[in-house]
Amino acid sequence: MPHSSFPAEVRDAVTPRATLLIVGVIALQLLFIASYVGALHDPKPKDVPIGLVAPRAAADQALTRLERLPGTPLDPRALPDEATARTQLTHRDIDAALIIDPRGSTDTLLVASGGGRVLSTTLTTLVTTLEKSERRTIRTIDVIPSAPHDPNGLSSFYLVIGWCVGGYLGAAALAISAGAKPSDPTRAAIRLAVMALVALTGGLGGALITGPVLDALPGSTAALWGLGTLIIFAVGAATLALQGVFGTIGIGLVILLVVILGNPSAGGALPPPLLPPFWKAIGPALPPGAGTWSTRSIAYFDNNAMTTPLLVLTAWAVAGAAITMAAAALRRRANAPRTP
């Protein structure tokens, strides 16, 4: 029996399809490195919304001083009193508030580490340095502190990552078991129904683990369950849609959107004001970013400022389901036998 040449063995072992997939894997790997390192390697505050409470005589001077800091790290706005500052912190309109005491040399900085400890620490350091240059001291009050079992404020981020993983792996499992492209709308609808069940189960499991079981996140378990269900279904439906249009390559596209672009821009490891412009811009439009913001709102901010991120997640879910059904209908029409 004749032996095949080595080049022939290589061609047989590594088909053109496998070569393309390997090239795609290498590209995703390099994009992963570039995205994470690019987003997280050099955090600098940029236009962080901060309230300023001061008498009128001192307010204008203080606003000018904050606005003219090198690199524009702060976006200051005058507020009438401390109560307003606390309310805006709770509503997530600002990330900190500086209260100037004209009668003494000690001012007060209000922060909310529930929105990300890295940001509150960065702002404390920045304002402390600024106050020191003015021969003043600062007293920091954490108005909305992160939970004792969530000292760095990362539990919300990891919870959302887990929910996103459940979404795209659940959809990928359906593709592996019966082909990436559903053969007809009925199969597509069944897959979406299965994803809804996966979302309900995974959403409840994640809410229970981070809430009652580990006590890592405060807030309503029911609200977290609903949010988790929406996140999982949104990512799962988007995965089914991309698989329906592009086949197996669709899974790679989901990894690109959710993992490579979505995770570093989500505001988990670094809150949005510390991210470079590109990641800061795309984060709110992707499921990890919208999910992380919403999870923190439920846990720490009395469910405030959730309308936009919930609309984003709903758009992903609705568009994913619609494209999944449309792709299946077009596929059935294309495969239907033509009558002469």
For the chain, give every domain's residue range.
48-142, 154-335
Q: Are 124 and 109 in contact (CB under 8 A)?
A: yes
> What pLDDT, on a 0 to 100 scale, did the predictor assign at position 336?
59
Q: Going by C-beta distance under 8 Å and a sequence separation of 6 or more, which residues neighbour residue 334?
A: none
pLDDT in tens, the chain (340 residues): 455 676 766 666 667 777 777 888 898 889 989 998 998 888 899 999 999 999 887 888 889 889 999 999 999 999 999 999 999 999 999 999 999 988 888 999 999 999 999 999 999 999 999 989 888 999 999 999 999 988 888 999 999 999 999 999 999 888 776 655 666 788 889 999 999 999 999 999 999 999 999 999 999 999 999 999 999 999 999 999 999 898 888 888 999 999 999 999 999 989 999 999 999 999 999 999 999 999 999 999 999 999 999 999 999 999 999 999 999 888 767 665 555 4
Q: Which is it for the CA torsion 275, 272, 214, 206, positive or negative? A: negative
> What pLDDT, on a 0 to 100 scale, did the predictor assign at position 264?
95
Of 121, 153, 109, nearest to 43 by C-alpha is: 121
Query: Helix, strand, or coil here: 328?
Result: helix
Q: How far apart are the C-alpha atoms of 179 and 182, rounded to whole Å?
A: 7
> What pLDDT, on a 0 to 100 scale, did the predictor assign at position 22?
84
Q: How far apart are the C-alpha atoms of 210 and 221, rounded to whole Å?
A: 9
> What pLDDT, on a 0 to 100 scale, did the predictor assign at position 10?
63
Of 239, 260, 255, 265, nearest to 324 by C-alpha is: 239
> What pLDDT, on a 0 to 100 scale, did the predictor assign at position 1?
45
Half-sphere exposure of 308 (CA within 13 A, CB side): 10
> What pLDDT, on a 0 to 100 scale, did the predictor assign at position 103?
86
pTM for the structure as a whole: 0.90
Phi, psi of 248 (to 5 degrees): -60, -30
> What pLDDT, on a 0 to 100 scale, did the predictor assign at position 78?
94
How many residues does the structure list for the chain? Answer: 340
SS3 content of the chain, % helix, strand, coil (to 5): 65, 10, 25
> What pLDDT, on a 0 to 100 scale, did the predictor assign at position 323?
95
Q: How far apart are the C-alpha atoms of 258 and 311, rounded to whole Å?
A: 17
